[in-house]
Amino acid sequence: MINNNIQTTIKAINDTFNTLSGLSCDDLRIKFNSIRSRVSEGEANIDDVLVDVFAIVKETMRRFTLGCIKVKATQKDITLAKCYDFVFSDTEGNALYQHRWNVLGEKFIWNMVPYDEQLQGGIEIHNGRILQMATGEGKTLVAVAPVVLDAMNGKGVHLMTVNEYLSKRDFEITRPIYSFLGFSVGCIEGKAIHSSRRKEAYNCDITFGTTSGFVFDYLHDNTAKKASQCVQNKFGVAIIDEADSVMIDEANTPHILSGDIHTYINNNENPYKKYMSLVKQMTEIDTLELYKTDTLRKNVSLTEQGKKWLANACGCATLFDNNLYTERIKLIDANNSLTENQKIGMIAAERNQRLAQLKMQDVLYRLLTAFTVYEKDVDYIVSGNSIVIVDPNTGRLKPSYRWEYGLHEAIMAKEHLSPDMEIENIIGSITVRNYLSLYKKISGMTGTAITTTNDWLDVYGLEVAVIPTHKPVIRKDNPLRVFATSKQALVAMLKEVIKLHKERRPILIGTNTIKQSEHITEFLNSKGLKPQLLNAKTLSQEAYIIAMAGNLDSITVATNVAGRGTDIKPADEALNVGGLAVIGLGIADSQRIDKQFMGRTGRQGNPGSSQFFVSCEDKIIGFLSGDDKNELERLASHADLESGEIIDNRIINLFLLAQRNKEEEDRNDRMETIKRDNIIAPIRLRLYGARMQLLRQTSKSTVIGNDLFGFWNDPVFISSYESHKKDFEEKAMPMVERALLNSASVDVCAPLPFIINGKIFNVICNFRNAVATQGSSIGDDFERQILLSTIDEIWFGFLNGINNPLIQKTEYETKYKKIFILAQERLKQTLLSATLPVNENIKNNNVTNDFYSNSLLCNSTCDKIGIEDPCPCGSGMPYWKCHGRLNSL
Ligand code: ADP
């Protein structure tokens, strides 16, 4: 049901739309431009012009269906005509907008005028709601009118979706409409961070991209060293397609930007390779209870016996004896027959041994995890010389993601690939939830929102609007069929496939893993059927496979990848025999994913059917409580002797309960991640805000210093710092002048080598400004860069410090304060002591910008620090994992 208010608005849109057909195309644009100017000049707000704008968009779309649209060419049209195939310019000064153009290399014909339900969807997007619109109802089209409306404000509209294929497709489909109305449209693609193409895309009125692309650009921008590297500039409106996937499924994995990497010089140095076969051997012994695994939650733990076995196998009996080190140190300390120097030497030796052991434990644990709970072609695939993560929800690959803290390296070693590097630390992290909170308005679209209404409200404060389908749904969704064993479920499913195939219906078979999809394909091939296989490995042929999937006699075996995205269009003959039959082997981790999959058929009022086959051996059963599992087993004992089928509604309900339990568990994880990130958010905003101000120099460094650090206000500090600053500015001037005089080619900006704690820190200074300001800009440049370094030091330190599941949320504040105070002290000392060298002070050419990692750890500090204490560099990591790290074992 459409509510009255919206119904009135839709009627008004249609009434206005009917008045527009008499306008020439030029007049249509003139009318639109005049509304746009009223909005941009603040004479009208977008709510006032919604009806007119939606009507103009609808009329524009109608004209695109008719053939070529001729208008007087503007400069923008002429520029577009030089680059794209959807508009041409003629010799008489006209622009000819086409009715067909290329989308992802294929011919595309515009044939869409929005239905009332689509207008309703557009209005709800404008209202900032999450739309539930069934698959196939045309969400791509729905977004256009609200995007146009918001783009008039000039504050940027970002359209996000799950993968580059979909974002690029929707970008290319709708670009001509936006362009006709005078908007610039861009799409962020690929991985070229800080690139000018990316910046251009962000400068457009409307920007398409994947959510991850947007989030990572934000994190990258906030590690930029120069303002010119930043690509994002406005956070106006975000509209998220496949919103449940992006905003719900992804919500429990924050986006993490990794920093330094440790590169292995040669393979012998690589501990994962070194211990791989030993751990493999351990997993092959099944007579001893060496470890416990929880495959559902991907956890593994060593038993006492397992620790002994590993310690023995590594030839290091004390490997897991974590108290021994402290005891030994105590003994050495208490031994009066030793001299101080002897003690220092012995303690250092003990420390090194302990460091090696801790690292070894870490490596062994990761390898064991890799071998026992991560499976090839389920959790990841091997592609060339690397492993690529498979997203469990979408079935798609995540090539730019790595598992953290050695797990990725361990899996590479398991697959006999050579990990040549290890990610060392985190330099940025944010959840989608908190990234989206940067926008003034957000809304989303998905086929399945209503089952997670609470999440939308609790996590995002968004309401769900359910949009009716344009035509009634006549798809037949059959009840779950349950079998005792997975083999029996498979056999029954295959029988059903053969039966449907005889009826010539197109069939889409859904599986939960790549492995299973390959297995079924092989089997069908062996029966003389010719299935197409669509999974993360065959995605390059996605468009072709999907295009064929609706034909008579076609069989497509797929993973979750087929659950979203491109439309499967059933051929007319296929509709006559009952339409596409969707068959699922096993149910997914959430009802939403199953519903998405079912929605592949019966679109737009077409016939179709869905049927899922499950077995009591399915993984999802692991999410039932003990009592429910017993009940399941009891019911399973009544299975049909021949087929293994259990026909009983109670068992169906247990499967649905297991799925709900899993959803609940995921929801709790999500809330936990979000709660954690909510504590971090104000810190991130504060530091990022200050950082951006420094980069863009929108405020003087002293003002930002004042805002962040208490001491900067202190008059005693100010007076000594001011005189110190004068001093180094004076020292710098002759250098600057000499450089400018001696070399005509000195860049305007060049490094001045400051000495901080005996090390060189290059401050990039504007030499010409320095001359113009008689040196005072040097102090400004110095302050700005030292502050930037300090902010990064605090932020990275904090992120790494809390990157440990054992650290409670309540400890975050204390951790932050500790790191902050340390960094503040160092900053104060730096500001008062940094100086410029007279030439002979530079002892070597080891000029470095790496202020925090090189300048802070002098040997004397290292000697004092316990190996399990926080590293004095402020990273927050234990010393042994950070600067105390041994390069080899
Ligand atoms: P969704 O994202 O909701 O699954 P799509 O945007 O992929 O749907 O559209 C599904 C199909 O419906 C597309 O082939 C599109 O061309 C068609 N379609 C959508 N809206 C209209 C319309 N108003 N008129 C004609 N065809 C439409």
pLDDT digits (tens, 9 = 90+) for 733-788: 888 888 777 766 556 777 888 888 777 788 888 888 888 898 889 998 899 999 99
More reliable by pLDDT, 145 or 834: 145
Q: Report which ligand 1 atom has the smallest distance to the Cα of 140.
A: 6
Tell me: the pLDDT tens digits for 481-539?
Answer: 999 999 999 999 999 999 999 999 999 999 989 999 999 999 999 989 999 999 999 88
* Confidence bin at 420 (pLDDT 50/70/90): low
| Tokens at 78, concatenated | 């002429």
Mean pLDDT of 449-472: 87
- The verdict on the CB of residue 112 being under 6 Å from ligand 1 is yes
Asked whether 656 and 479 are in contact (CB, 8 A), the reply is no
Ligand 1: which of 58, 62, 107, 112 to mutate, most ligand atoms within 8 Å of CB? 112
Query: Ligand 1 centre from 802 Cα, in Å?
Result: 46
Among 377, 500, 656, which residue's Cα sits nearest to residue 508? Answer: 500
Please state, in angstroms and rounded to a whole number, the distance separating the CA atoms of residues 785 and 408.
34
Query: Looking at the predicted structure, is the pLDDT value of residue 885 above 70?
Result: no
C-alpha 185 to ligand 1 mean position (Å): 21
Q: Is the pLDDT of residue 861 over 50?
A: no
Cβ–ligand 1 distance for 131 under 6 Å, the answer no
Locate the ligand 1 atom nearest the alpha carbon of residue 133 and give its number: 3
547 CB within 6 A, ligand 1: no
Measured from the CA of 447, which atom of ligand 1 is nearest? 3
Taking the centre of ligand 1 as the mean of its atom positions, its distance from the CA of residue 381, in whole angstroms, is 33
Ligand 1 atom 22 nearest Cα:
112
Q: Pick the residue with more confidence: 849 or 314?
A: 314
Residue identifier of the C-alpha nearest atom 20 of ligand 1: 138
For 615-618, the CB contacts below 8 A with 24+ separation are 615/482, 615/483, 615/484, 615/485, 615/486, 615/487, 615/488, 615/489, 615/586, 615/644, 616/482, 616/483, 616/484, 616/485, 616/646, 617/485, 617/486, 618/486, 618/586, 618/587, 618/655
Beta carbon of 115 within 6 Å of any ligand 1 atom: yes
Residue closest to 252 by CA, chosen among 52, 61, 433: 433
pLDDT above 90 (res 271): no
From atom 10 of ligand 1, which residue's Cα is the shortest distance away? 136
CB atoms within 10 A of CB 168: 19
Q: What is the predicted pLDDT for the residue at 260? A: 63
* Residue closest by Cα to atom 12 of ligand 1: 138
Query: Is residue 740 in contact with ligand 1, taking CB distance under 6 Å?
Result: no
- Rounded Cα–Cα distance for residues 270 and 705 (Å): 43
How do 206-210 and 185-187 pair as beta strands? parallel
User: What is the per-residue pLDDT for 844?
Assistant: 42
Expressed in angstroms and rounded, the spacing between residue 141 Cα and the centre of ligand 1 is 7
Q: Which of 12-21, 469-478, 697-706 has the lowest mean pLDDT?
A: 697-706
pLDDT tens digit sequence for 213-232:
999 999 999 999 888 999 99
- Give the range with max mean pLDDT: 684-693, 851-860, 865-874: 684-693
Residue 113 CB less than 6 A away from ligand 1: yes
Is residue 267 scored above 80 in pLDDT? no
pLDDT over 60 at 547, yes or no: yes
C-beta of 570 in contact with ligand 1 (< 6 A): no
Q: For ligand 1, say whether the CB of 141 is within 6 Å of any of its atoms.
A: yes
Take atom 26 of ligand 1 and give the residue whose Cα is closest.
112
Ligand 1 contact via 140 beta carbon (within 6 Å) = yes
Integer Cα distance of 512 and 15 in angstroms? 48
User: What average pLDDT does this structure show over 122-149?
Assistant: 94
Instruction: Kindly state the tokens that stand for 286.
Output: 């099944």
Confidence of residue 112 (pLDDT cuts 50, 70, 90): very high
> CB-hemisphere CA count at 13 Å for 359?
25
Residue 245 to residue 844: CA distance in whole angstroms:
54
Q: Is 117 in the pocket of ligand 1 (CB under 6 A)?
A: no
pLDDT of residue 810: 87
142 Cβ closer than 6 Å to some ligand 1 atom: no
Query: How far is the C-alpha of 514 from the C-alpha of 510, rounded, in Å?
Result: 10
Which protein residue has the closest C-alpha to ligand 1 atom 18? 138
Residue nearest ligand 1's atom 23 by CA: 114
Q: Which helix (H) or strand (E) holds 236?
A: none
CB 561 within 8 A of CB 532: no
Average pLDDT over residues 711-737: 88
Task: Provide the pLDDT confidence category of residue 653 given band limits of 50, 70 and 90.
Answer: very high
Rounded to two decimals, what is the model's pTM? 0.83
Q: How far is the CA of 235 from the centre of ligand 1 (A)?
A: 28
Residue 858 has pLDDT above 80, yes or no: no
Atom of ligand 1 nearest to the CA of 567: 7
Lowest mean pLDDT among 188-197, 458-467, 606-615: 188-197
The answer on pLDDT for 189 being more than 60 is: yes
CA separation for the pair 677, 668 (Å, rounded)? 14
DSSP character string of 382-445: EETTEEEEEPTTT--EETT---TTTHHHHHHHHTT----EEE--EEEEE-HHHHHTTSSEEEEE
Q: Could you tell which of 172, 448, 567, 597 is best to mutate to test the pocket of ligand 1, judged by most ligand atoms within 8 Å of the CB?
A: 567
Q: What is the mean pLDDT of the chain?
A: 87
Cβ of 137 less than 6 Å from ligand 1: yes
CB 674 within 8 A of CB 251: yes
Q: How far is the CA of 155 from the centre of ligand 1 (A)?
A: 28
Instruction: Please give the distance, rounded to the nearest whole angstrom, from the Cα atom of residue 152 to the centre of ligand 1.
Output: 25
Our answer on whether the CB atom of 135 is closer than 6 Å to any ligand 1 atom is: yes
The atom number, within ligand 1, closest to the CA of 170 reads: 6
Q: How remote is the CA of residue 121 from the centroid of ligand 1, in Å?
A: 13
pLDDT tier for residue 298 given thresholds of 50, 70 and 90: confident
Residue 615, helix vs strand vs coil: strand
Reported as type and span, the H/E element at residue 671 is helix 649-696
pLDDT of residue 190: 83
Residue 76 has pLDDT above 90, yes or no: yes
CA distances (Å), origin 75, targets 33, 99, 148, 187, 226: 15, 21, 20, 21, 33
Please answer whether residues 347 and 354 qualify as being in contact, where contact means their C-beta atoms are separated by less than 8 angstroms: no
